[in-house]
Amino acid sequence: MVAVDLSSHPGHLARRLQQAHYLLWNTMVSEEITSPQFAVLNALVAEPGLDQRTVGERVGLDRSTIAEVISRLTRRELIDKVRDARDGRRWLLRLTAEGLRAHKKLTLRTARMNQVFLAPLDAAEQAQFFDLIQRVADAAEGLRRPQEPAVGTPG
């Protein structure tokens, strides 16, 4: 039997990148607020008043994960839920004053962390890295969404 060269397995490399990111996040950014939680705060800075489903779509989190993240951020009083005046079944999300302060602090820290994370690459390589990883991430998102049947096919 021959061992597989994992350096050519994208999942293995992605896991190693995630481990490095997690270590840097916890040491340079926050041990209390996770990267997905920051992504939610950031989405609500960009578009205040989004509903939970839309926030999940914006940050790439599935339904159960986004529900847990929203619950944790609400308990920490970083976001508020407000009933949608047009649809009483829907809750809209807004950052609290504390949530805005946390976002500002975390934004500065994430910028420094990203410099460390990307230090092995020069500026051109960083741009290429982002382009490539974005393309792969976008394609992976497409795999999670159910595909609409093609016209004329049973479905």
Q: Is 14 part of a structural domain of the chain?
A: no
Q: Is 50 part of a structural domain of the chain?
A: yes
Question: Is the model's pLDDT at 138 over the cut of 90?
Answer: no
Burial class (CB in 10 A: 0-12, 13-18, 19+), 93: buried
Average predicted confidence (pLDDT) for the chain: 91
The CATH number given to whatever domain includes residue 40 is 1.10.10.10
Q: What domain range is 78 assigned to?
A: 30-119
- pLDDT by residue (tens digit) across 58-90? 999 999 999 999 999 999 999 999 988 888 888
- Mean pLDDT for 121-145 is 90
Q: Of 31-35, 82-86, 109-113, 141-145, which range is least confident?
A: 141-145
- What's the pLDDT score for residue 148? 47
Domain count, the chain: 1
Q: Is 47 part of a structural domain of the chain?
A: yes
Other C-beta atoms within 10 Å of 105: how many? 13
- pLDDT by residue (tens digit) across 30-68? 999 999 999 999 999 999 999 999 999 999 999 999 999
